[in-house]
Copies of this chain bind each other. A is one copy, B any other.
Amino acid sequence: MKCYIILVGTELLNGMMVDTNSIYMAENLNRYGVEIVGKSVVGDKIKDIEKTIKYGKEISDFVVISGGLGPTIDDLTRDAVAKFLDKPLTLYKEEFEKIKEKFKRVNIKMAENNIRQAKFPEGAIIIDNKSGAAPAFLIDDIAVFPGVPSEVKETFPKFLNMYFKDKEKKEMYIKDILVWGLPESELEEKIYDIILNEKGIFVEFLVKNYGIIIRFLAEKNKKEEIDILKEKIYSRIGKYIFGEDEDRIERLVLKGLENNNYTISTAESCTGGMVATKLIGLSGISKYYKEGLITYSNESKIYRLGVEEEIIVKYGAVSEQTVNEMLDGLKTDVKIAISGIAGPTGGTKEKPVGTVYIGIEVAGEKEIKKYLFRGDREVVRERAALTALNMVREKL
């Protein structure tokens, strides 16, 4: 089946607002085997919305719309759908009562305008919205949702259940293999022949800041074929694969800490607390994470971590020796220490921008590696932080 997505709202056009609704909807539709054939953003003008619905209906089996269900005169999606279908807008009394009830519950006076949110094109099926005032609705293969992301997440799954109940649903299978430490071009080269000629299996590479996803998408009966492809990929680039599906490097580190009942701490220089931030972002970490030191200056490395001044003078702050002593200044079972040159300035011929020393220690065993990361300051720091966590993951 084919779907066309329409986002309504002038604020999405001037570009100051990033759309996340269409990403959420597309991912969920993909799981039902639905192909997204196009996506449009339109302003709050009834004619434009109507035209876009017409266009979307022409090239797809059903149209999904988000936005323009608010109470103000700028909210015109209801009117546009009614106009396109040549059906009147009717007041759904029961829904109006529900909206009144919602306002009463939070002790807010309902504005007169809110009555608009209980009007729907005649014949529309209502989809209940527990997160906000405006219900979603479905009519003639046009499904309309609010624009607020939390309200989309509340109503969209109900729509999917309802809409695909009686349809011949393609059961889809998605498998993500997650790779770290291999550039996309090299990855593609290394495994291209494996995935080249598979019929009915859609393979794509998705570059995320947490790694590269190799995604397989196919009908459920292809699962075994995908498993075979997966095996082949593991046997060729297994050491770069850190997990599957919902795995993330930092989550796997937490799992490892839990399994071993290990505490962890971090000492960072150029990454400036990024490793700590990633760890502290995990719910459940507080039992294991003890402290993080951002020893940005040499004084701090000396005073807080006990790094010998001589070592810094002799080898430099960005060196194996300094990172080694930074590790020694920490006191937990697992330790991470990072010192590097993130740029844009500070590079030398010997240690160019992107040079980062990463040291880890797991239950007394140290490993210190030198890396050269490419990219701007932000990218270098991000890569260094995740590489450090990945080194720990490998040892846990």
Q: Interface of A with B (CB < 8 Å)?
A: 11-20, 22-27, 30, 36-43, 48, 51-52, 55, 59, 204, 206, 213, 215, 265-266, 272-274, 276-277, 279-281, 283, 286, 289-297, 299-300, 303-304, 331, 344, 377-378
Q: List 28 A-B contacts (CB under 8 A).
A: A11-B206, A13-B37, A13-B38, A14-B27, A14-B36, A18-B20, A36-B43, A37-B48, A38-B41, A38-B48, A38-B52, A40-B40, A40-B41, A272-B280, A273-B276, A273-B292, A273-B294, A280-B294, A280-B296, A281-B377, A283-B377, A291-B293, A291-B297, A291-B300, A292-B292, A293-B293, A293-B304, A303-B331
Dominant secondary structure of chain A at its interface with chain B: mixed
Please give, as numbers and ranges, the residues of chain B lying within 8 Å of A37 by CB-CB distance. 13, 43, 48
Q: Identify which of A15, A26, A283, A331 gathers the most chain B CB atoms within 10 Å of its CB.
A: A15
User: Which residue of chain B has the shortest Cβ distance to A40 in the bound complex?
Assistant: B40
Minimum C-beta distance from A176 to chain B (A): 10
User: Which residue of chain B has the shortest Cβ distance to A270 in the bound complex?
Assistant: B280
Q: Identify which of A41, A295, A296, A331 gathers the most chain B CB atoms within 10 Å of its CB.
A: A296
Please give, as numbers and ranges, the residues of chain B lying within 8 Å of A48 by CB-CB distance. 37-38, 59
Q: Which of B41, B265, B277, B344 contacts A39 (CB 8 A)?
A: B41
**Assembled-state Cα–Cα distance A206/B297 (Å):** 37
User: Are B272 and A274 within 8 A (Cβ)?
Assistant: no
Please give, as numbers and ranges, the residues of chain B lying within 8 Å of A293 by CB-CB distance. 291-294, 304
Given contacts A15-B36, A26-B15, A39-B41, contact A296 B300 (CB under 8 A): no
Given contacts A37-B43, A41-B38, A304-B291, contact A206 B17 (CB under 8 A): yes
User: Are B206 and A16 within 8 A (Cβ)?
Assistant: yes
User: Are B294 and A294 within 8 A (Cβ)?
Assistant: yes
Please give, as numbers and ranges, the residues of chain B lying within 8 Å of A283 by CB-CB distance. 344, 377
User: Which residue of chain B has the shortest Cβ distance to A12 in the bound complex?
Assistant: B39
User: Which residue of chain B has the shortest Cβ distance to A342 in the bound complex?
Assistant: B280
Q: Identify which of A13, A30, A303 gathers the most chain B CB atoms within 10 Å of its CB.
A: A13
Please give, as numbers and ranges, the residues of chain B lying within 8 Å of A295 by CB-CB distance. 291
Please give, as numbers and ranges, the residues of chain B lying within 8 Å of A30 by CB-CB distance. 14-15
A13-B26, A17-B206 known, 20 other contacts, Cβ within 8 Å: A13-B37, A15-B25, A15-B27, A16-B204, A18-B18, A36-B43, A38-B42, A38-B43, A38-B48, A39-B41, A272-B273, A272-B280, A272-B281, A273-B273, A273-B277, A273-B294, A283-B344, A286-B296, A290-B296, A292-B292
Please give, as numbers and ranges, the residues of chain B lying within 8 Å of A51 by CB-CB distance. 59
**Assembled-state Cα–Cα distance A378/B14 (Å):** 27
Minimum C-beta distance from A257 to chain B (A): 14
User: Which residue of chain B has the shortest Cβ distance to A45 in the bound complex?
Assistant: B37
User: Which 5 pairs between the two chains have the least Cβ-Cβ distance?
Assistant: A273-B273, A15-B26, A272-B280, A292-B294, A291-B300
**Assembled-state Cα–Cα distance A37/B299 (Å):** 56
Please give, as numbers and ranges, the residues of chain B lying within 8 Å of A11 by CB-CB distance. 204, 206
Please give, as numbers and ranges, the residues of chain B lying within 8 Å of A52 by CB-CB distance. 38
Please give, as numbers and ranges, the residues of chain B lying within 8 Å of A300 by CB-CB distance. 265, 290-291
Please give, as numbers and ranges, the residues of chain B lying within 8 Å of A23 by CB-CB distance. 15-16, 18
**Assembled-state Cα–Cα distance A85/B324 (Å):** 65
Q: Which of B39, B215, B291, B304 contacts A13 (CB 8 A)?
A: B39
**Assembled-state Cα–Cα distance A139/B191 (Å):** 40
Please give, as numbers and ranges, the residues of chain B lying within 8 Å of A280 by CB-CB distance. 272-273, 294, 296
Minimum C-beta distance from A317 to chain B (A): 11
Please give, as numbers and ranges, the residues of chain B lying within 8 Å of A59 by CB-CB distance. 48, 51
User: Which residue of chain B has the shortest Cβ distance to A289 in the bound complex?
Assistant: B296
Minimum C-beta distance from A305 to chain B (A): 10
Q: Which of B15, B274, B331 contacts A24 (CB 8 A)?
A: B15
